């Protein structure tokens, strides 16, 4: 049976650190800590809203996280600079190996989907800007059911939308919480460990396979599926 691959977008396909280029022009040497705190709060807000069942879409979480990070670090942005940064989140670059890896996986017969907390319109624009939109059969957004990863319901939603079975489906992500969530929901999980400093959560659930870049994914999945 053909394997279905669900690719997380932010941090897995798309380099969220790409926003630092804009940040450096606006805040100088505070760009790196602001970018890191912004991303951390973005995820935290999605987790908290998911647990509270108080849904707001991912762009709202992103904007509120930026406001928090600026306040915490004493950064003052005018309205136009704030909008410039938020718009920058829709034109981030893909990691260098992503397009050739996706092209090879598609040619090998895998079904490829983008699967993200982001809203569908933003994801379509982002993937098109990164020149990888044509690699995917479809884009599946958690916004469609009003929740966020790692809620089990969002992985079930993906399987329904893709017409796929958990046993032959793989969540591909650089985020350990996402991999754990997918495996808990009955899927396989491929962790993309892009740096040696990345640590997987020491839970009772471990990745089905671990790769350091997407070009390693095809043989890793074949080996993992055969295990």
Query: Which residue(s) pair with 170 in the sheet?
Result: 5, 188
Give the full edge-to-edge strand order of the sheet including 111-116.
Answer: 138-141, 111-116, 4-7, 169-173, 188-192, 209-211
- Cα–Cα distances (Å) from 164 to 5, 57, 159, 196, 208, in that order, read 10, 26, 5, 33, 18
Rounded to whole angstroms, how far apart are CA atoms 45 and 181?
17
Question: Rounded CA gap, 96 and 110, in Å?
Answer: 21
Instruction: List, by residue number, the catalytic residues.
Output: 8
- Asked whether 138 and 93 are in contact (CB, 8 A), the reply is no
> Of the candidates 120, 121, 126, which has an alpha carbon nearest to the alpha carbon of residue 98?
126
Residue 16 CA to residue 13 CA, distance in Å, equals 9
């Amino acid at each position: 049976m053909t394997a279905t691959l669900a690719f997380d977008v932010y941090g897995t396909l798309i380099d969220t650190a790409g926003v630092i280029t804009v940040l450096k022009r606006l805040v100088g040497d505070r760009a790196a800590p602001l970018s890191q705190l912004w991303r951390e709060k973005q995820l935290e807000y999605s987790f908290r809203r998911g647990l509270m069942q108080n849904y707001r879409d991912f762009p709202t979480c992103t904007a509120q996280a930026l406001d928090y990070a600026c306040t915490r670090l004493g950064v003052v942005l005018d309205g136009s600079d704030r909008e410039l940064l938020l718009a920058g989140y829709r034109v981030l670059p893909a990691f260098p190996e992503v397009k050739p890896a996706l092209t090879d996986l598609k040619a090998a017969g895998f079904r490829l989907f983008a699967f993200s907390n982001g809203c569908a319109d933003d994801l379509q624009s982002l993937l098109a800007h990164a020149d990888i939109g044509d690699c995917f059969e479809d884009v599946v957004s958690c916004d469609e059911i009003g929740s966020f990863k790692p809620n089990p319901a969002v992985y079930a939603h993906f399987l329904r939308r893709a017409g796929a079975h958990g046993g032959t489906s793989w969540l591909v992500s650089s985020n350990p919480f996402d991999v754990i969530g997918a495996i808990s929901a009955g899927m396989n999980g491929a962790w993309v460990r892009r740096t040696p400093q990345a640590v997987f959560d020491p839970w009772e659930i471990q990745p089905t396979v671990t790769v350091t870049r997407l070009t390693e994914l095809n043989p890793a999945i074949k080996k993992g599926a055969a295990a």
